[in-house]
Structure 1
Amino acid sequence: MTQAGNSQRLMVLYTGGTIGMQATENGLVPASGFEARMRAFLAQVPERALPEWHFCEVLPLMDSANMTPAYWLRLSEAIVRAAEQGYTGVLVLHGTDTLAYTAAAMSFHLLGLDIPVVLTGSMLPAGVPDSDAWENLDGALQTLASGAPQGVHLYFHGALLHAARCSKIRSVGRHPFKTLERQRLTQHRQTLPAELKAGQARQVANVAVLPLFPGISAQHVSALVNAGVQGLVLECYGSGTGPSDNDAFLASLNEASSKGVALIAVTQCHEGGVELDIYEAGSKLRAYGVVSGGGMTREAAVAKLQVLIGSGLSPEQVDYWLQQDLCGELAE
């Protein structure tokens, strides 16, 4: 499967997920042995020219519903190690439930890495009727082989998506992922501090998401702060509004900010973004320590907070870099 004269070397990292699951009496579970199945599939079309590739399981294999930020650290370390070993591209096989979160996380964990990384998976296991597994795997491999651009991407059903801009919007079918039509900024990308570059040691941060809803109270925020949350994504209404007449709620945000908790607002809407100064109900959030997430998705905001806080930046630095475009999550 090595193309003559081709110096490319690809690493395939298998994390589990539906693509390689096997049926048990309790339902589908992640299973080892996928490399042999993958090689058998690719051998069916021997005329297809692929670069040299190697396979590695990232243990423990898991249903992506069990994905954690600690696993993101192991996965990013494996990708950096592959780059250091001379691999020219990395394919990550992953379950779809949290694929958009992991794709966004890798976008921030691998800032500055000079090889392409593509994540894919499937809605049905390889080998079952009407499965999308092999078409996604083959398409992702072909994309890497043909020269995917540097950076992190999500590949699904023929589309190469920006890893920090997409979400899973369907639980069935061949098109579960979509790039959300969020607000984009014109912004000069800043020079990255050393702490944010790929390969740096990081800790897992305590990050949470709190959707706003009618009846939300100070107790909801305080419960998270008392649980030790370090970063909080507020999923706000519309262009970034919240209950501006609830003094206790606003005070709870102020208390969280004063304790060093990073507060970022994203919109609950699929389109548009946050502009906190349009309405008083948004400008009050800013006055109490909330920063604008612009057009960032929930997945990107969670991942970005994980990396900024986990890199040991000060609260002031976290607030600053939350509002700067690092990998296309905010700007074109």
Structure 2
Amino acid sequence: MSYTGYKGKSLDFLKKNKVDVGNQVRVHSDLTYLGILMPRYEYSDDSHIVLKLKNGYNVGLEIDKIKKIELESLPVTKKENMPKPKTDSALPKILLISTGGTIASKIDYRTGAVTPALTASELNATVPELSRIANIDTEVLFSEYSENLLPEHWIKIAEKLNSCARSEYRGIIVAHGTDTMQYTAAALAFSLSGFPKPVALVGSQRSSDRPSSDAALNLIAAVRFLVETDVTGVFVVMHNTSSDDEIACHWATRVRKNHTSKRNAFQTIGGSPAFIIQDNRIEKNKLFNLPKVEYSPKIKFDNRVALVKYYPGFEPKIMGYTISSGYKAIIFEGTGLGHVGKIMYDAIEKAKKKGMFVGMTSQCIDGMVSMTVYDSGRDLLNLGVIPLGNMIPETALVKAMWALANSKDSAEMNKIMKENIALEFSD
């Protein structure tokens, strides 16, 4: 028997009552609950069990308050034989690449487990609307929580996309965890500048086993966006409101996750989304104009870059460690218009003498860095700090990693960081 995540008192309780994860059980406590016994996390306490109810929500029940637990049914282990979706030669082809996250997963209501749903058959069963919009091919590139992704993963995604640049696919979806989606989006925008097809990074804020999940709607909207527009380049496609009425298509270098759990957590900083999908309409932002540039992939990153958030009481020794540890660039997240305290000046001077790039963004997130307004800003300019306009700090970090890897010297990196390569600045 499998008691995944259960230990101590809860494990003893389940063994005594001969019920297992995946069993449908009826629990009599203050109320009576019917649901599937779910696994628990490794670090969960040992005083509760978790049921998945028929409505899709999970409920935790305290063992000491359970009067009786009854086994209703065992999980069915027979594998579903899902029919392959019929292809329609009149429809365009879309490639869906999975890197992890919940966007391309499904709930197995027999066992309570959330599992990848990435074969064409499974996608058709989970989101049948897709087969009426496009013929979907799927591929699992890797499966990682997005907080575990490194520049090496960005390279792997970019190389896969590059291999499809001249393919028959109308567009490509990258299913991705939401926590670091903005970093990956920026990395793809810089390394695949001028990419001749549309790319949509899609995620889900709510797990697919929850009634409020945004997974299916985001995925449907992303496929529609790729099929029904003639745009190219990299976008993040997520809910625009907390309800299901609008989906936003954010440009890759101007998007940021600004809420931990809301379905509309992603926002375009310094403007509005490039496109809004509402009902049967896809509306383009009149101010969004992506310049046509020749496709020139440069798929290299150097992670010897530090993103440093300045704060009152910041210890310059931290900068000293960064300088002595072989880092080649520092992106400051400064205060207001782009400032750090005088206590940092000596460390910045040492960094510049070692040939390091030092750039300035603002921790205000929105708005333009302007370092000529106050004496402190002008002092930093004299020390060689480069203002980075209204570039988002995380985008600036990714750009610096990319620029460092694709520059022959510090002068070329300075030049690249000042150029508006992928609409990372608002001119």
TM-score between the two structures when normalised by the length of structure 2: 0.68
Distance 2:163 2:113 in 1: 28
1:226 aligned onto 2:330: no
Q: Determine if the alignment matches structure 1 residue 177 to structure 2 residue 276.
A: no
| Matching residue of 1:118 | 200
Match of 1:104 in 2: 186
Distance 1:264 1:29 in 2: 46
Distance (Å, rounded) in 1 between the aligned partners of 2:250 and 2:256? 10
Which structure 2 residues correspond to residues 36-51 of structure 1 after superposition, within 5 A?
A: 36-43=121-128, 45=129, 49-51=132-134
- Residue number in structure 1 paired with 2:137: 54
Q: Within 2, Cα distance between the matches of 1:281 and 1:176?
A: 34
Cα-Cα RMSD: 2.7
Can you list the C-alpha shifts for 1:170-219, whole angstroms capped at 9, x where unaligned? Answer: 1112100111127xxxxxx9998x9x931x35243312110010112321
Distance 1:132 1:191, change over 3 A: closer
> What SS is found at the alignment partner of 1:62?
coil
Alpha-carbon contact 2:304-2:329 (below 8 Å) kept = yes
Deviation at 1:169, TM superposition (A): 0.6
**Cα deviation code 1:135-183 (max 9, x no counterpart):** 111111111111251111111121111111111111112100111127x
Q: Pick one of 276, 296, 300 that aligns with 2:391.
A: 296
The secondary structure found in structure 2 opposite 1:164 is helix
In structure 2, the CA distance between the partners of 1:133 and 1:284, relative to structure 1 (3 Å rule), is: same
User: How much does 1:2 deviate?
Assistant: 4.4
1:213 is the counterpart of 2:296: no
Out of 269, 281, 296, which is 1:197 matched to?
A: 296
CA distance in 2, matches of 1:133, 1:210: 34
CA gap of 1:302–1:31, structure 2 versus 1, over 3 A, is farther
Alignment of 1:24-103 (within 5 A): 32-35=116-119, 36-43=121-128, 45=129, 49-59=132-142, 61-103=143-185
TM-score (norm: length of structure 1): 0.86
Cα pair 2:199 2:234 within 8 Å, conserved: yes
Please tell me whether residue 272 in structure 1 is matched to residue 367 in structure 2: yes
Local SS of the residue matching 1:295: coil
Q: Relative to structure 1, is the Cα distance of residues 173 and 218 closer, same or farther in structure 2, using a 3 angstrom cutoff?
A: closer
Shift of 1:41: 2.3
Q: Is the 8 A contact 1:2 1:49 kept in 2?
A: no
Distance 2:418 2:292 in 1: 14
| Aligned positions, number | 313
Structure 1: runs of 5 or more not aligned: 183-188
Native 8 Å contact 1:190 1:325 kept in 2: no
Of the two, which has the highest radius of gyration? 2
Higher relative contact order at CA 8 Å, sep ≥6: structure 1 or structure 2? Answer: 1
Question: Partner letter of residue 209 of structure 1?
Answer: L
Distance in 2 (alpha carbons) for counterparts of 1:30 and 1:162: 30
Residue 19 (1) aligns with residue 103 (2): yes
Q: Which blocks of at least 5 consecutive residues in structure 2 are unaligned?
A: 1-85, 240-246, 272-289
Structure 2 CA distance, aligned partners of 1:31 and 1:208? Answer: 36
TM-fit CA distance, 1:32? 4.1
1:248-286 deviation line (CA, Å, top 9, x unaligned):
x21211221222222110001032121111111111112
Distance 1:327 1:258 in 2: 30
What is the CA–CA distance in structure 2 between the aligned matches of 1:18 and 1:223, rounded to whole Å?
38
Aligned partner of residue 83 in structure 1, secondary structure: coil
Matched with 2:67 is none
Measured in 1, the distance between the counterparts of 2:106 and 2:152 equals 25
User: How far is 1:134 from its partner?
Assistant: 0.5
Cα distance in 2, alignment partners of residues 260 and 14 from structure 1: 39
- Out of 214, 218, 226, the residue aligned to residue 136 of structure 1 is 218
Distance 2:352 2:115 in 1: 44
Q: Which amino acid aligns with 1:66?
A: N
